[in-house]
A = this chain, B = another copy of it.
């Protein structure tokens, strides 16, 4: 692995942040950088759980499908997120790249050994897994009980929060904010449990209401954050 961990873009945000320099050295011996092109699938649901990874750049989706082909995106992963399923022989969900993606990959058994040798890392992973569980459960409420407009508005809010951490955006609080969605309409529909057409209609409805603007197909401008949160059924932040 040519690139050094010291240069790593997510050095301080990923699981590795829990490792002291000497431990990090040992992990680096095990890891390999990998690139996956947009649209490619890394791991198929039901296949052996062979690798764990940290996402360095890009966006991954975790998805499940019914036997007759209906798909649901059950999770999105952003840079510094942990990917993989330790302690299980097989993985339950398919992992695919929504954009070109760069990962730091470690064989699963070696990763488990690192975990066992490093209580700080294991604890950090436990914290993150609890947080992911809370997030998945919160999405259960949204998927089951929110209307299409609440889902779409809520999705834009969450993507905006995600974008805020990464890009520049954000001028005045409450003022217009613009960012790019890493998902197509169809992928948004797969996240929200809707159809492409419904997502499109809800977006134009928000646009007509002046809550958002859609300067490009992939980009969104939030013109009235408070109204958007209200549409999403969230309390004003």
For residue A14, CB closer than 8 A to chain B, the reply is no
For residue A88, CB closer than 8 A to chain B, the reply is yes
Chain A 71-90 near chain B by CB (<8 Å), digits 1 or 0: 11011000000000111100
Task: Return the chain B residue nearest A69 by Cβ.
Answer: B145
Could you show 24 A-B contacts with beta carbons less than 8 Å apart? A65-B141, A66-B146, A67-B233, A72-B144, A74-B141, A88-B134, A92-B137, A92-B138, A115-B123, A116-B123, A119-B122, A122-B123, A122-B126, A125-B126, A126-B126, A129-B129, A129-B130, A133-B136, A139-B140, A140-B140, A140-B143, A143-B143, A143-B193, A144-B192
Count of chain copies? 2
What is the minimal beta-carbon distance from A120 to any residue of chain B, in angstroms?
A: 10
Chain A 153-178 near chain B by CB (<8 Å), digits 1 or 0: 00000000000000000000000000
Contacts of A145 in B (CB 8 A): 66, 70-72, 193
For residue A235, CB closer than 8 A to chain B, the reply is yes
Q: How many residues of A contact B (CB 8 A)?
A: 45
For residue A179, CB closer than 8 A to chain B, the reply is no
Contacts of A88 in B (CB 8 A): 130-131, 134
Contacts of A146 in B (CB 8 A): 66
Task: Return the chain B residue nearest A91 by Cβ.
Answer: B134
> Which positions in A face B, CB cutoff 8 Å?
62, 64-68, 70-72, 74-75, 85-88, 92-93, 115-116, 119, 122-123, 125-127, 129-134, 136-141, 143-146, 192-193, 233, 235
